[in-house]
Amino acid sequence: MNEDNSKLLIYQALPRLYGNVSGKNLPGGSIEENGCGKMSHFTCERLDDLRELGFTHVWYTGILEHATTTSYPGIMHDHPDVVKGRAGSPYAIKDYYDVDPDLADDPEERREEFRQLVERTHASGLGVIIDFVPNHLARQYQSDCSPQLEEDFGERDNRDMRFRRDNNFYYLTDQMLVIGSDYGPEPSAYSEYPARATGNDVFHAHPSRDDWYDTVKLNYGVDPDTGVGHFDEPVPDTWDKMYHILYHWAMQGVDGFRCDMAEMVPVPFWHWVIRRLHPDFPQLLFIGEIYQPWRYREYLDAGLDYLYDKVGLYDTLIGVLRGERAASDITTVWQSQEGLSGRMLHFMENHDEQRLASDFIVGTGAKGIPAVAVSALIDGGPMMIYFGQMLGEHGMDEEGFSGRNGRTTIYDYWSMESMRALHQPALRTEEQRELRERYRRLLELVRYPVFDHGLFFDLMYAVGDRLDPGRQYAFLRYRPGKLALVVANFADHTADLALPLPRHAFDTLHCQEGRSCRMLDFQSGDEEVVTLESDRPYTIRVRPHDYGVLLFTPPESLLPRVR
């Protein structure tokens, strides 16, 4: 199969949990009690395996030093009242220039160990993505690794002003931060005066437990009372600080950034910083976490390469899996994103969302396969898989701060059952082995050229009476010489379908009709020589909670290998 395409396949992993196979899971336990994964657990062998599966990048989530209750020589722990869990949130950054010491075998060598991780990743042919968290930082932020001439955040702020263009923070003047009674049985001992606005735009001094109370909102020159931005040159001080942070990590070999809550940072900043970085790092990737579809184009125009496809494809597919939406609703997603094909990052799991195999979605990884297939095959945009997903991680542990919510904790020290099975294959169940093989085959199919930048044609309007539009979805992908018919079956029963290719599809895709082709059923391995004709039905059997693909290629071409 031709692997020389440009479709990004991203493997997201939280190093704190990835390599921890201790199995000592005390809810709310310390690092000594529960253990912790290390950067060294991403061995050459593991990284080579990811590359062989077809991944192009690894997103190492939680690399930067962040708020925590754990102490190290030279690194004081944070006040527990402004730390979520024992390990702390990877998004409450305590030093933008430093590496989380939890992740190092020798904490004093943590930056060198990260350099080695980057080197191993690149040697395996993979790119490195880390988080860039521009909107907020930890309450007790203090950098001891920033360049000598770089002033710390807030160092020159006028704390008597609620808003000042070159302040790094917003100050709630004459108010003391109050950590509410829902944080614990006793009033908080943490003191902050004057209080600073909380990361999720809480501009009062009483953030709740559901707020991002462990973080402080950064000021990019936007007046919070009027919404007016003050961006004239010289740019606001926060902009300049963030440029230097990005430049630093790009110099360390980082290939891209997943930009946390990019939509909470003004668009002009993105345009300015990306344009400034690109002459030195032209291939640097920026993936924006955006949840406002009406703003997609302005962030892409500002220079972000890809955006989260959460409120579009992800939410729709979750609704279909749960039986709350019709499969035909997928049609509305691509219609609403016209002109954005290939610019949206597709995923079915990440650190913010509930696991497919959790009790909150479908209860088993196998039932999530048709949604993953649609997500992977519908266009040439990047696709992301979350660690544990390919082994059906349930996410139903009660880890501590995170609780039993169907998500994998980002706040606690923990050992995941799926990661123990990953690192110790003898522990894998038959169900896990079968699920991983299904993912392997899907990732192999994704690398087939038609799924890179091939054109897309929705079949639902033309074949809606030939299938169940509530539980089945069908579409075509095409590039010259190669055509694929894809069917996702979300139903509990096998679908035996005879689907025609409408004449309009041939016209739209500029696909030649009447030529002889080899037709391969990717799942069964059956193949035959057929003639491409409009309105002729082509038969395909799709198992329950699965997907089917018919691949049409010239008679002399090599078809994808089937295992």
Which residue type does 137 have?
A: L
Which residues on adjacent β-strands are paired with residue 486? 475, 549
Q: Does residue 201 lie in a domain region?
A: no
Contacts of 563 (CB under 8 A, 6+ apart): 441
Q: Does residue 204 lie in a domain region?
A: no
Higher per-residue confidence, 190 vs 521: 521
> What pLDDT shows up at residue 187?
55
Q: What is the pTM of this model?
A: 0.95
pLDDT at residue 172 greater than cutoff 60 = yes
> What pLDDT shows up at residue 558?
47
Contacts of 237 (CB under 8 A, 6+ apart): 156, 166, 167, 168
> What pLDDT shows up at residue 183?
45
Where residue 348 falls among pLDDT bands split at 50, 70, 90?
Answer: very high
Q: Does residue 133 lie in a domain region?
A: yes
- 356 shares its domain with 474: no
Higher per-residue confidence, 183 vs 510: 510
DSSP 3-state helix, strand, coil percentages of the chain (rounded to 5)?
A: 30, 20, 50
What CATH number is associated with residue 393? Answer: 3.20.20.80
- 274 shares its domain with 356: yes
> What pLDDT shows up at residue 463?
87
Specify the DSSP class assigned to residue 336.
H
Please state the rounded mean pLDDT for residues 512-536: 93
Q: Does residue 262 lie in a domain region?
A: yes
Where residue 557 falls among pLDDT bands split at 50, 70, 90?
Answer: low
In contact, 522 and 467? CB cutoff 8 Å: no
Please state the rounded mean pLDDT for residues 433-455: 95
Q: Does residue 295 lie in a domain region?
A: yes
- 14 shares its domain with 122: yes
What CATH number is associated with residue 461? Answer: 2.60.40.1180
Question: What's the mean pLDDT when you consider all of the chain?
Answer: 94
Which of these ranges, 11-20, 114-123, 346-355, 503-512, has the smallest mean pLDDT? 503-512
Task: Label the pairing between strands 546-553 and 482-489.
Answer: antiparallel
- Other CB atoms within 10 Å distance of the CB of residue 385: 26
- The 3-state DSSP class for residue 221 equals coil
Q: In the chain, how many domains are there? A: 2
- 400 shares its domain with 507: no
- 509 shares its domain with 459: yes
Residue 360 burial by CB count (10 A; 0-12/13-18/19+): exposed, middle or buried?
middle
Q: Does residue 183 lie in a domain region?
A: no
> What pLDDT shows up at residue 338?
87
Q: Does residue 225 lie in a domain region?
A: no
Domain boundary among 446, 478, 513: 446
Please state the rounded mean pLDDT for residues 23-30: 94
pLDDT at residue 316 greater than cutoff 80 = yes
Q: Does residue 263 lie in a domain region?
A: yes
Domain boundary among 396, 430, 446: 446
Please state the rounded mean pLDDT for residues 191-197: 96
Where residue 186 falls among pLDDT bands split at 50, 70, 90?
Answer: low
Which residues on adjacent β-strands are paired with residue 495? 542
The model's pLDDT over 95-149, given as tens digits with 9 standing for 90+, comes to 999 999 999 999 999 999 999 999 999 999 999 999 999 999 999 999 998 887 6
Q: Which of 164-168, 187-191, 338-342 has the highest mean pLDDT?
A: 164-168
The 10 Å CB-count burial string (b at 16+, else e) for 449-485 is bbbbbbbbbbbbebbeeebbbebbbbbbbbbeebbbb
> What pLDDT shows up at residue 452?
87
Locus of tokens 């500029």: 510
- 428 shares its domain with 543: no
- 44 shares its domain with 121: yes
Give the pair of three-digit tokens for residue 471: 């539980």
Which residue type does 345 have?
A: L
pLDDT at residue 242 greater than cutoff 90 = yes
Q: CA neighbours within 13 Å on the CB side: how many for 552?
A: 23
pLDDT at residue 153 greater than cutoff 50 = yes
Give the pair of three-digit tokens for residue 175: 């108010």
Give the pair of three-digit tokens for residue 396: 């139903």
d(CA 346, CA 377): 10
Where residue 497 falls among pLDDT bands split at 50, 70, 90?
Answer: very high
- 434 shares its domain with 465: no
- 260 shares its domain with 298: yes
- 267 shares its domain with 308: yes
d(CA 153, CA 469): 54
Domain with 460 in it = 454-553
- 359 shares its domain with 265: yes
Specify the DSSP class assigned to residue 265.
S
> What pLDDT shows up at residue 188?
63
pLDDT at residue 465 greater than cutoff 90 = no
pLDDT at residue 473 greater than cutoff 70 = yes
- 322 shares its domain with 467: no
Domain boundary among 422, 446, 470: 446
The model's pLDDT over 250-308, given as tens digits with 9 standing for 90+, comes to 999 999 999 999 999 999 999 999 999 999 999 999 999 999 999 999 999 999 999 99
* Dihedral sign for Cα atoms in the order 452, 453, 455, 459: positive
Where residue 185 falls among pLDDT bands split at 50, 70, 90?
Answer: very low
